[in-house]
Amino acid sequence: MKITKAVYHLNKKELIVEATSSKGGVAKLNVVDFGLMNYHSKRDLYQLVKKGDNPSSVTVTSDMGGLDTAEVVVKAGKGKGK
């Protein structure tokens, strides 16, 4: 399991975390203090989108064992925040 994206959009006050797992669709991934991630089979990745405060880092755990931590990249600006 690996975090592939951890971004906080200042303009939306929104955290986006994406991760992959070799157990895609079977494992349950959890962003500590934020909740369970949803699995998207077409993209073969897990994602969590949450409004709230900006954390400096996030940790994702798997119910099948595994843990990854990543620093959150802060994106400021206008538009869609991509």
What integer is the mean pLDDT of 9-36?
Answer: 95
Q: How many distinct structural domains can be found in the chain?
A: 1
Distance CA 44, CA 23 (A): 10
Asked, for residue 66, whether it belongs to a domain, the answer is yes
CATH, residue 41? 2.60.40
Q: Is residue 39 part of a domain?
A: yes
Residue 80 lies in a domain: no
Average the pLDDT over 13-21 and give the result.
97
Binned at pLDDT 50, 70 and 90, residue 81 comes out as very low
> What is the residue-averaged pLDDT of the chain?
93
Any domain includes 82: no
Q: 42: domain range?
A: 2-75
- Spatial distance between the Cα atoms of 1 and 3, rounded to a whole number of angstroms: 7
Q: So what's the pLDDT on residue 24?
A: 80
pLDDT in tens, 24-47: 889 999 999 999 999 999 999 999
